[in-house]
A and B are shown apart, each in its own frame.
Chain A
Amino acid sequence: MSSRESILEVSALRKIFRGRTAVDGVSFRVAPGECFGLLGPNGAGKTTTIRMLYGFSPPTSGTVRLFGMDLARDWRRIRARIGVCQQENTLDPDLTVEENLLVFAGYFAIGRREARARAAELLEFFALASRARARVMDLSGGMIRRLLLARALVNRPDLLILDEPTTGLDPQSRHQVWDRVEKLKASGLSAVLTTHYMEEAARLCDRLVIIDHGKILVEGRPGELILRHVGPQVVEIGGPDGALREYLQENALPHDDLGERILLYTAGDDGRVAAVRERFCLRRCTFRDATLEDVFLRLTGRELRE
């Protein structure tokens, strides 16, 4: 991919804050029309990276280029062309749903009549038209998230930045958000999103990176990453015994030992795996397709991050 083709170009981005390296040399590119994912456990540096992408947080070193412009210099022109949906609820609680969009349009110097037209269109698209005059305080979590998304689109951005767009939502709301983001994607909008829902990343992202401790561990398409780091299938074996462990060691079968459970990664047609099935899968065995979550946990470990 040449630099002319990419809408976003991040090179050697570092952020040291209070003596701690939050982002440690991150580089990636996003092509027009692409949805790019930043995955990682809590504290991996996702939000810090995102904040540097829209010029909220100045990098310690490295560069961010958007639409061929340098963010450090042309931040104002760049921000006019991006839409940011932040993780927290940053809506104005004193204003109505519609006023939130109109006031925000004002920050982009969009004329009043044009702002009204766009607000009406966006409220319709996000199924909020009936709540246009409601106070933000009276909205549900799902509605707040949709309004944040609508607000991020009020300037008709060329790039949408989504920081954990569905965290804390119920399944219905989450699917509604995914549905809308997919529609926007289909209309050609480029997007960068962070998430720790692997299902979300697999569904929305064309390409993604998994970051941990401020560094990119892997980069690729979701399907590719699964094949490369896990294999197509997983056998979950409950209550493993010593004999199984010995067998896996002897035959050098890729697996993770979780104590109460062993995850065996397999291409499916392996004779040794068939042997495992016959000899050790008398009781508690689950055969399933590998997911991005397997990749994520294999690469970032299973310890709690708090």
Chain B
Amino acid sequence: MIRWDALSWRFIRVWRRNFVTFRRIWKVNFLTPLFEPVLFIAAFGLGFAGLVGEVRYGGEAFSYPAFLAPALIAAAVMNNAFFETTYASFVRMYYQKTFDAMLATPLSLEEIMVAEIVWSASKAAAAAAIMLGVLSLFGLMAWPQALWVLPLAFLGGIAFGAVGLFFTGIIPTIEMFNLPIFLFITPMFLFSGTFFPVSNLPLWAKPLALSFPLYHLVELCRLAGLGRSETVPLLSVGYLTVFAALFTMLALLFMRRRLIR
């Protein structure tokens, strides 16, 4: 049972709590999005690009680093949001009892959970902004439409944050997050058109890739950063929106079942 009537703008106060905590450690948190793209572009641009040469994508030829860059942002969005609502939310819920304390105040469970998801999306969007800056320095982003990456990162962040919180609602122990990471995150990272176009996959594997939310985020980020895409953009936005809504509902449902006894 989800109590929609208990959901209000008050969730912003929980978001603020995460923001205040984050400010204490933001310098460390921003190192990853700052240097990760540099490492990837260096490894793939210098080492790997020699093997592949140019990539044909959406009817055009791109250098491998240019092809890869938007996908790096999409993958970072996934990781930031998913790890925030799995490991970090689980620590807040189970070890720090943060939610128990909040539930003695005029906040509802629905507000706390929505705030967790929105926070994870904000963090993902902040990481995307930094990566966008770094990758632009390498000349790998087409401005100004590359700015579309930011709202896309937020939407993708909601989707991956929601699915992460859903796993937090059902997982018995923190060690077991290995399972959704191995079965869900890693295959998505590899097969969502991140490192090679999905059009290169054999016919039977394509529907699988198309069902991955990361695929749609990667494609949308490419549209923003490269000006090319292999999907129908509105369909991809629709898919991510439905995915986000569905898993937000499931997260609220299972977190209520888990916390309210």
Contact = CB atoms under 8 A, between A and B. Distances in A.
A36 interface: no
B97 A88 contact: yes
A99 B20 contact: yes
B206 interface: no
Contacts of A84: 104
Interface string A80-101: 1010101011111111000100
A82 to B, nearest CB: 8
Interface stretch (A102-110, A138-146, A231-239): A102-110
B27 to A, nearest CB: 14
Interface residues of B, number: 23
Interface in B62-111: 96-98, 100-108
A50 to B, nearest CB: 10
A58 B6 CA distance: 15
Nearest to B108: A76
B257 interface: no
Nearest to B16: A106
A261 interface: no
A93 B105 contact: no
Contacts of B25: 94
Contact of B105 (A57, A88, A92, A107): A107
B106 A92 contact: no
Contact of A90 (B17, B24, B100, B107): B100
B255 to A, nearest CB: 14
B21 interface: yes
A134 to B, nearest CB: 14
Given A93-B96, A95-B21, A80 B106 contact: yes
Nearest to A161: B104
Interface string B1-28: 0000000001001101100110011000
A104 B98 CA distance: 11
B214 to A, nearest CB: 30
Interface residues of A, number: 29
B11 to A, nearest CB: 11
A103 B104 CA distance: 14
Nearest to B105: A107
A103 to B, nearest CB: 5
B260 interface: yes
A89 B97 CA distance: 8
A86 B13 contact: no
A96 to B, nearest CB: 9
Contacts of A229: none
B24 A109 contact: no
A92 B98 contact: yes
Contacts of A89: 97
A165 to B, nearest CB: 14
Interface in A197-231: none
Contact of A17 (B102, B107, B261): B261
A79 interface: yes
A92 to B, nearest CB: 6
Given A76-B106, A107-B102, A107-B105, A90 B20 contact: no
B218 to A, nearest CB: 33
Contact of B260 (A57, A76, A91, A95): A57
Contact of B17 (A82, A86, A93, A103): A103
Nearest to B8: A76
Contacts of A109: 10, 13, 106
Given A76-B108, A80-B106, A94-B25, 16 more contacts: A54-B104, A56-B104, A57-B261, A77-B106, A80-B105, A90-B96, A90-B97, A90-B100, A90-B101, A95-B21, A103-B20, A104-B101, A107-B14, A107-B17, A107-B105, A151-B101
6 contacts: A80-B106, A89-B97, A90-B97, A103-B20, A106-B17, A107-B102
Interface of B: 10, 13-14, 16-17, 20-21, 24-25, 96-98, 100-108, 260-261
Interface of A: 17, 54, 56-58, 76-77, 79-80, 82, 84, 86, 88-95, 99, 103-104, 106-109, 151, 155
7 tightest A-B contacts by CB? A90-B101, A84-B104, A107-B105, A90-B97, A94-B21, A79-B106, A76-B106
